Chain A
Amino acid sequence: MTRNTLNRRRFLAATAAAGTSCLAAPLYAQSRELVIISDRGNPDQRAALTDIANAFGREAGVRVSLNNMDHEAHKTAIRNYLVASPPDINFWFSGERMRGFVKRGLFSDITDLVEKNGWADVVPAMSATTVDGRIYGLPTAGLVWGLWYRKDVFDSNGWTPPRTAEDFLSFGQNAREAGMTPIAIGTKEMWPAAGWFDHMNLRINGLDHHRALMEGRIAYTDGSLTRVTDRWAEQVKAGMFLRNETSYGWEQAAAILAQKKAAMMDLAGFIIYGFPEADRAQLRLAPFPTYDTGIGRYEDFSVDSIHIPSGAKNPEVARDFLTYFYQPDRLWEYLKPDGNLPARTDIDVSSDPIMVESRKGLVGVDGTSQYFDRDTDPDVAQAGLKGFQEFMVRPERASDILAGIERARARAYGPL
């Protein structure tokens, strides 16, 4: 018994000591160093990033601390750490999600760095990290959205990707007759439904309208949106979509496409994660069908980016790191495992068939938006994601749903 007590006491004392010694000690000293926070889910990509960061540390004589968070948690954490204790480099999204932080002065202006390196010439997506003519981040890669299908399935059935709205419905008819679901979609995470809305609105109302809508300048109760919901409801009623789609995540929906139980799916290059390696060579990308020939081809192109918080403790080191990281070969090492298209057009992607498809998907595009939940206020985005998920199940509730999103819009952007 005494021995027991003694052990326990010693143990308590030891843990208490461990606790206090860690209480206030700063985790890194203030020397030449670099703190990075990333949110990469792909282990290979994380490994590539670690290699690049370590190599930079060795060459520049900098102690690099690379911290990775899971993607969803990072969205919460960034709002805490940008205010409380900013790192030197962090990973984020361009567009509206970046603009919110820029407006509060939380990201550094790196326009001079971009100009010095002449990056703007090879990075058309730089516009996505530009606010009022100033640049606040470097685009790393873009997600090209469209309808993916299996070439072998289409060949054996003699199908071609539908080009128009009418094609699309008759294609659905053919797919169903062949025993397949025309469109695989999983809306458990909600965003796939909103992506479908983006396509429909860009095809029916065009880019200017879509931008205005995302920026809160058009009401969701506007008549122009009824045209979208009408056509979309048509598709739902024609049985174009996977049944019980709210039960499935996008991965499961992609698996259904891979298993040849569905004909097409709306996604970006990361579709490969839902596909067994052997089947990936079959993947082809087709643009979303045209709904109005008077309207140009506008697509969602979501750009990920990398930033220097304005509270960074080592901004000069951070700039050195960006320059180092943004060299074409290193950027390619980092992006290669992930399947998303490099933002630099001077990177050769021909070794990767999925990226080749993505790059082809951008040819002939007249203009881009990012993605519903990256383009608009978070409150509106949340209301919209939920609303469009509901719409795909209960299209008859269209007007109530739009009125609900409109309430959020009015809250965020004020009355029109």
Chain B
Amino acid sequence: MLRTRRSLRHRATPALLLAPGLLLFLVVIVFSALRTFWISLHAWDGFGPMTWVGLSNYAELWGDPQFWVSLRNNVIWLAVFLLAPPMGLAIALLVNQKIRTMRLAKSLFFMPLVLSTVTVGVIFVWFYDPSYGLLALLFHAFGASPPAVLSSDTWVTFAVVFAALWPQVAFCMILFLAGLNTLDEEIIGAGRVDNARGWQMLRHIVLPQLRQVAFIALAISMIGALRSFDIIAVMTSGGPFGSSTNLAYQMYQESLFSYRFGYGAALATVLFAIMMVFIVWYLLRLLRDERSA
């Protein structure tokens, strides 16, 4: 009797603990996500009646030149964001000294993450301004004529991603700082005894211990690369002529400016499918590592 009541409590409590968070999440987020998929099967301007169009929004994607440009830009975002973890690691190594003022320095390196995306975007627009930007001033100092990177359909995406990289590196830096604080002193000491130095030490002794952190930093950077859109809105509005638009921004634009919610929802679904690859990869790694631990 006592026993069954106890086991009931052991089973019921976890369910009760899980319930509020899960319910809220299911009702607001999961339900909305499913509705989005439903909307992607319709032509809809956001408040009139919805017209069933089946998969034709997806078919239209295939023939939409902007979709392919957006997809290409997402690949660029992913590729450039791969730099965030190593750069974050570099800064973390730089400041990981027990010297006075280093703690303040750590905090200040983190600053970009606190600024809103709008702010970051605006500052970088000033940076790239072809007449008065810092970049232009640098070019003038060397007697060269400055490029208008935000006007170049070749370079604009790189220029935007570079701006987005700034806070992302700060995020990665914090993760690696945390990682460096948990290194196994004995292994490091043993490495020093074996005369491992510099690069070798990093490569063979430190990095293997940072694998988990690196893996999280990478995953967060990849997701960030796929999801970013607000900095594009601020810096270029996706232009010139759509050449810096990525999938998330195209979805935003189709829904909110062109009032094509069905098409926007189809873009969102495709974006989600791409993200699913990373999410599944992430989960499999996570679970495998836990099982082996």
Per the CB under 8 Å rule, do A and B touch in the complex?
yes
Interfacial residues, chain A to chain B (CB-CB below 8 A): 76, 79, 82-83, 104, 187-190, 243-247, 252, 378-379, 382-383, 386-387, 389-390, 393, 404, 408
Q: Is the CB of B240 within 8 A of A390?
A: yes
In the complex, B130 has a CB within 8 A of chain A: yes
Report if A389-B257 is in contact (Cβ < 8 Å); known contacts: A104-B48, A244-B130, A246-B150: no
Q: Is the CB of A79 within 8 A of B47?
A: yes
CB contact between B129 and one of A79, A189, A247 (< 8 Å): that residue? A247
**How distant is the Cα of A10 from the Cα of B139 in the complex, in angstroms?**
57
Report chain A residues within 8 Å CB of B48.
Answer: 104
**How distant is the Cα of A86 from the Cα of B266 in the complex, in angstroms?**
30
Best-buried of B48, B236, B237 by chain A (most CB within 10 Å): B237
Q: Is the CB of B259 within 8 A of A390?
A: no
**How distant is the Cα of A378 from the Cα of B48 in the complex, in angstroms?**
14
A79-B47, A104-B48, A389-B241 given; 7 more Cβ-contact pairs under 8 Å:
A244-B130, A244-B148, A246-B148, A246-B240, A378-B259, A390-B240, A393-B151
Best-buried of A188, A189, A247, A389 by chain B (most CB within 10 Å): A247
Q: Is the CB of A188 within 8 A of B260?
A: no
In the complex, B46 has a CB within 8 A of chain A: yes
- A380's nearest neighbour on chain B, judged by CB, is B258
Kindly provide the distance from the CB of A252 to the nearest chain B CB, expressed in whole angstroms.
8
Report how many residues on chain B are interfacial, defined by Cβ distance under 8 Å.
Answer: 23
In the complex, B253 has a CB within 8 A of chain A: yes
**How distant is the Cα of A104 from the Cα of B45 in the complex, in angstroms?**
12
| Shortest beta-carbon contacts, A-B, top 6 | A390-B241, A244-B148, A246-B240, A379-B258, A246-B151, A247-B151
Between-chain CB contacts (< 8 Å), 23 pairs: A76-B256, A104-B47, A188-B236, A188-B237, A188-B239, A243-B148, A244-B130, A244-B151, A246-B148, A246-B150, A247-B128, A247-B148, A247-B151, A252-B129, A378-B257, A378-B259, A379-B259, A382-B257, A382-B258, A386-B242, A389-B240, A389-B241, A390-B241
Kindly provide the distance from the CB of B163 to the nearest chain A CB, expressed in whole angstroms.
15
Kindly provide the distance from the CB of B48 to the nearest chain A CB, expressed in whole angstroms.
6
Report chain A residues within 8 Å CB of B65.
Answer: 404
Q: Is the CB of A389 within 8 A of B258?
A: no
Report chain B residues within 8 Å CB of A382.
Answer: 253, 257-258
Interfacial residues, chain B to chain A (CB-CB below 8 A): 46-48, 65, 128-131, 148, 150-151, 236-237, 239-242, 253, 256-260
**How distant is the Cα of A404 from the Cα of B242 in the complex, in angstroms?**
12
Report chain B residues within 8 Å CB of A390.
Answer: 240-242
- B236's nearest neighbour on chain A, judged by CB, is A188
Kindly provide the distance from the CB of A398 to the nearest chain B CB, expressed in whole angstroms.
13
Q: Is the CB of A189 within 8 A of B237?
A: yes
Q: Is the CB of A190 within 8 A of B237?
A: yes
Report chain B residues within 8 Å CB of A393.
Answer: 151, 240-241
Report chain A residues within 8 Å CB of B259.
Answer: 79, 378-379
CB contact between A247 and one of B46, B150, B237, B260 (< 8 Å): that residue? B150
Best-buried of A187, A383, A386 by chain B (most CB within 10 Å): A386
**How distant is the Cα of A298 from the Cα of B51 in the complex, in angstroms?**
38
Q: Is the CB of B241 within 8 A of A387?
A: yes
Report chain A residues within 8 Å CB of B239.
Answer: 188, 190, 246, 386, 389
**How distant is the Cα of A386 from the Cα of B236 in the complex, in angstroms?**
12
Report chain B residues within 8 Å CB of A245.
Answer: 151
Report chain A residues within 8 Å CB of B129.
Answer: 247, 252
Kindly provide the distance from the CB of B261 to the nearest chain A CB, expressed in whole angstroms.
10
Report chain B residues within 8 Å CB of A246.
Answer: 148, 150-151, 239-241
Report chain A residues within 8 Å CB of B150.
Answer: 188, 246-247
**How distant is the Cα of A173 from the Cα of B225 in the complex, in angstroms?**
47
Report if A386-B148 is in contact (Cβ < 8 Å); known contacts: A76-B256, A244-B130, A379-B260: no
